[in-house]
Chains A and B, each alone.
Chain A
Amino acid sequence: MEKIIELKKVNKWFGKFQVLKDINLSVSTKEKIVICGPSGSGKSTLIRCINRLEEHQQGEIIVDGIKLDGNTKNIDKIRSEVGMVFQQFNLFPHLSIIDNCTLAPMWVKKKSKKECETLAKEYLEKVQILDQGNKFPGQLSGGQQQRAAIARALCMEPKIMLFDEPTSALDPEMIKEVLDVMVDLAKGGMTMCVVTHEMGFAKEVADRVIFMDEGNIVEEKNTKEFFENPENDRTKLFLSQIL
């Protein structure tokens, strides 16, 4: 399988505090990985490094053959190929849902307005909120907003989707509607890196699960192995608490 994301010996510090310690990780095309771990373990920082919302200080990150360094052109190119979904949705509150979706394709990918609208409608349909297209984010429920955020990212037709705790800010009854969309997306063959505590989701779609603690990747196994035969004590403790 072709490697689409590669991290080699990545280190990152916030001030004096080291958040990522010698991280090695590679993700193949169409692979789905789930990253879990206690809060503060560096999992969000890790995936935020993949589209350079965070800058790493040591090591190498290569995404889709492009090395992430200070070159801003590369960064913009990577970002237009890597979609991201955030814990707090981060929809643009001053724009309608449909405008949220069409803005970037129009101004970053320079597509025509009509083309973008067709695209946006297609993806809004896919996440089942087409009827909400003309509303503003503030008028939608949390689950609907997160689905709109997924549609917005998909409108850029990314090769990779990053999810940073996409269901953590949602009411329990809305988690499922978002996870359903993500499962659909996974089955459609998208390359996905998901930071989540939803172990049910991990079991259903992940090819591999990565467990992080204190900036290290403590355990990295295919999904079945991970849940049935965790080796590390920290992983066992975490799983016993969360399952």
Chain B
Amino acid sequence: MMKNLNLLWFKEKFFSTPLNAFLTISIIYLGFITIPPLANWIFFDATFIGSKKSDCVSGGACWVFVNVWFERFIYGLYPAEEIWRINLAFGILAASILVYNFANQKIRKYILIFLFGVFPFISLFLFHGGALGLPVVDTREWGGLFLTLVISVFAIIFCFPLGIILAMGRRSTLPVFKYFSIGFIEFWRGVPLITVLFMAGVMFPLFLPAGSNLDKLIRVIIAITLFEAAYMAEVVRGGLQAITRGQYDAAKSLGMGYWKSHFFIILPQALKIVIPGITNTFIALFKDTPLVFVVGLLEILGMINLAKTNPNWLGLATEGYVFAAFVYWAFCFWMSRYSLKLENRLKTSN
């Protein structure tokens, strides 16, 4: 009985018309000719253990390459004996997030204050060093996934509030703010990121007075922040436009001024509406970070590009790129899932 039902269901879903039957069979065939070779290459014929390229003789992927270079892919050229500092910082971050998930409202508030107010400074100090007996690690030695995360996390933290301010500015009735915001947004949206990075990394120091210097990484983070803030502003503006006049009226009628009504009433609703757009921007930002190679910073993809040109490891670019793709995908997928979770949690109507 049950089996009959399943067969019927199967027939209805996949073979209901000749065209559907054809599509079903074609897709099965496509899967049949692509998936097994891919799986063989990635898993069954692959070599996982070894220490040099000649260990890979099986014909599949040579994961030995990723294995041997793993530390470089993750930490860049960071001195091996100082890597614990990065691990410690990310350990603190992971622990805070873990505690946050299980804590009550009151403790959560303190964790948030810590994460946004204190932790950035602790982590930067750990990464850079220069006091308390920690030797300085110059930002030139930062790299790999670690650099990807530093750039994207700081750019995300800064571009979000800046984008909100710009979006509010663009809707402002005060001409100075309005036209400044419009000019800012249209300028940064109109130039490609790669030229912005090039300007920040190579040209900008030429304009500075001799002797003064702003770290290249900081210049890059500022450049990405300004660039993404312009996109963020337009996303947030979309949300602001969705809020009805009645909400403004109600907030005003209760005596709330511009800032209070925006902070408590308008922005919480507007931002909730545009969570998908915000996530989009964050994901795009994260995937834009490899472009920092134009100023000589090597995040994870840059490190892979460096490793694949090592004379002892030539010809293994594919393995490197598959690994990079997997890492990028994992982070982006996590962001996407997290935003969905957030959307569901903030749902207040049925």
Q: Name A residues whose Cβ lies closer than 8 Å to a Cβ of B.
A: 51, 53, 72, 76-77, 79-80, 82-84, 86, 88, 90-94, 103-104, 107-109, 136-139, 149, 152-153, 156
Which A residue sits closest to B247, measured CB to CB? Answer: A90
Cβ B269 vs Cβ A90 within 8 A? no
Binary A-proximity of B238-255 (CB < 8 A = 1, otherwise 0): 000000001101111111
- Chain A residues with CB under 8 A of B350: 138-139
Question: Is B105 part of the binding interface, using a Cβ–Cβ cutoff of 8 Å?
Answer: no
> Which of A84, A86, A88, A139 contacts B349 (CB under 8 A)?
A139
Contact residues of B between 200 and 254, Cβ < 8 Å to A: 246-247, 249-254
Segment from B22-30, B59-67, B135-143, B260-268 that makes contact with A:
B260-268
**Bound complex: CA A177 to CA B54 (Å):** 84
Which 10 interchain pairs have the tightest Cβ spacing?
A: A138-B349, A80-B255, A104-B254, A90-B250, A84-B253, A90-B246, A136-B348, A79-B255, A108-B255, A94-B268
- Chain A residues with CB under 8 A of B346: 94
**Bound complex: CA A137 to CA B264 (Å):** 16
- Chain A residues with CB under 8 A of B89: none
Given contacts A90-B246, A90-B247, A92-B265, contact A153 B256 (CB under 8 A): no
Given contacts A80-B255, A108-B255, A108-B256, contact A86 B250 (CB under 8 A): yes
**Bound complex: CA A53 to CA B268 (Å):** 22
Cβ B254 vs Cβ A86 within 8 A? no
Cβ A94 vs Cβ B257 within 8 A? no
- Chain A residues with CB under 8 A of B252: 51, 53, 79
Cβ A152 vs Cβ B257 within 8 A? no
Some 29 contacts from A to B, beta carbons below 8 A apart, are A51-B253, A53-B249, A53-B252, A72-B257, A76-B257, A77-B255, A79-B252, A79-B253, A79-B255, A80-B255, A83-B253, A84-B249, A86-B249, A86-B253, A90-B250, A91-B250, A92-B250, A92-B251, A92-B264, A93-B269, A94-B268, A103-B264, A109-B255, A137-B349, A138-B348, A139-B349, A149-B250, A153-B254, A156-B255
Contact residues of B between 292 and 345, Cβ < 8 Å to A: none
**Bound complex: CA A136 to CA B252 (Å):** 21
> Which of A79, A82, A86 contacts B246 (CB under 8 A)?
A86
**Bound complex: CA A108 to CA B256 (Å):** 6
- How far in angstroms is the closest Cβ of chain A from B139? 41
Cβ B349 vs Cβ A136 within 8 A? yes
**Bound complex: CA A52 to CA B294 (Å):** 55
Give the dominant DSSP class at B's interface.
helix
Cβ B253 vs Cβ A53 within 8 A? yes
Which B residue sits closest to A100, measured CB to CB? Answer: B250
- Chain B residues with CB under 8 A of A138: 348-350
Which A residue sits closest to B268, measured CB to CB? Answer: A94
Cβ A90 vs Cβ B249 within 8 A? yes
Given contacts A94-B272, A138-B350, contact A104 B246 (CB under 8 A): no
Cβ B254 vs Cβ A80 within 8 A? yes
- How far in angstroms is the closest Cβ of chain A from B270? 10
Which A residue sits closest to B257, measured CB to CB? Answer: A76
Given contacts A93-B269, A136-B348, contact A76 B255 (CB under 8 A): yes
Residue from A72, A80, A107 having most chain B Cβ neighbours under 10 A = A107
Given contacts A76-B257, A94-B272, A94-B348, contact A107 B249 (CB under 8 A): no
**Bound complex: CA A136 to CA B350 (Å):** 9
Given contacts A90-B247, A94-B272, A138-B349, contact A153 B255 (CB under 8 A): no
Cβ A94 vs Cβ B250 within 8 A? no
Which B residue sits closest to A53, measured CB to CB? Answer: B249
**Bound complex: CA A156 to CA B252 (Å):** 13
- Chain A residues with CB under 8 A of B349: 93, 136-139
- How far in angstroms is the closest Cβ of chain B from A151? 12
- How far in angstroms is the closest Cβ of chain A from B60? 53
- How far in angstroms is the closest Cβ of chain B from A109? 8
Cβ A108 vs Cβ B269 within 8 A? no
**Bound complex: CA A53 to CA B264 (Å):** 19
- Chain A residues with CB under 8 A of B272: 94
